[in-house]
């Protein structure tokens, strides 16, 4: 993770979903797909931004790091932000500590075929504007 290694990925535009993260090659179960990166801000700041920005864009890219901090990938972020939501995803988001800093990664829950969407369940990990 510290070396920036991730699965071979691509982006595609899918009607009804927008830009979507895709597996460019088969990905094995339990593999790290990509780190979820962005600007780390307070939850309060994120919710304030979300109120303003949802008027311009329906997409939300906030991933809760803990109860006080959020990774906001809307303006500054990697391609991991394009993993689409689905209720039965093929990936999970895991958190861990690296040199005292909390990191979030998207990991394959199941094997993912070439050309398949990388999906996660937004649920409680993602911050919803109140």
Q: Judging by DSSP bridges, how do beta strands 9-14 and 84-85 pair with one another?
A: unpaired
Percent of the chain with pLDDT over 90: 46
Q: Is the separation of the CB atoms in 82 and 20 below 8 Å?
A: yes
Could you tell me which residue, 105 or 55, shows the higher pLDDT? 105
pLDDT digits (tens, 9 = 90+) for 80-126: 999 988 889 999 999 888 898 888 999 999 999 999 999 998 765 56
Rounded distance between C-alpha atoms, residue 114 and residue 40, angstroms = 32
Q: What is the pTM of this model?
A: 0.82
What domains does the chain contain, in order, with CATH numbers?
9-125 (2.170.270.10)
């Amino acid at each position: 993770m510290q070396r920036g290694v991730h699965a071979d990925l691509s982006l595609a535009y899918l009607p009804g979903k927008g830009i979507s993260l895709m597996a460019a090659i088969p990905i094995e179960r339990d593999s790290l797909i990509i780190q979820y990166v962005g600007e780390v801000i307070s939850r309060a700041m994120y919710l304030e931004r979300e109120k303003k920005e949802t008027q311009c864009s329906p997409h939300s890219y906030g991933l809760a790091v803990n109860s006080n901090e959020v990774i906001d990938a809307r303006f500054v972020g990697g391609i991991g932000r394009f993993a689409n939501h689905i209720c039965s995803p093929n990936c999970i988001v895991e958190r861990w500590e690296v040199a005292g800093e909390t990191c979030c990664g998207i990991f394959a829950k199941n094997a993912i075929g070439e050309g398949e969407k990388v999906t996660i369940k937004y649920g409680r990990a993602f911050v919803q504007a109140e």
